[in-house]
Amino acid sequence: MLELRPNCECCGRDLAPDSLDARICTFECTFCADCVDGELGGACPNCGGNFAARPIRPAAMLACYPASTKRVFKPEGCKAA
């Protein structure tokens, strides 16, 4: 099951569980569409993999399976080394 992390790892922007702007890699590194399409160039800076749009978890399912509240953020920046 996806964690549904609450924010973009790069810019820190909030990404609600129903956000259409959330993008995830295969390890569920989570970024917003702006960062993915912009400075990340479509590749995950942590693992080098590609991104897919994060599926929306329906509200009824969120009640039983809540989204993660643990923020992952890299204040030093997210660009690949």
Q: Stretches 14-22, 37-45, 53-61, 62-70: which one binds Zn ion (CB under 5 A)?
A: 37-45
Asked if 79 touches Zn ion (CB under 5 A), the answer is no
Give residue 32's Cα distance to chain centre.
6
Asked if 47 touches Zn ion (CB under 5 A), the answer is yes
Return the closest-CA partner of residue 9 out of 37, 30, 40: 30
Bridge partners for 24 per DSSP: 30, 52
Asked if 78 touches Zn ion (CB under 5 A), the answer is no
Identify whether the C-beta of residue 54 lies closer than 8 Å to the C-beta of residue 23: yes
Site residues, Zn ion (CB under 5 A): 8, 10-11, 13, 25, 27, 29, 32, 35, 44, 46-47
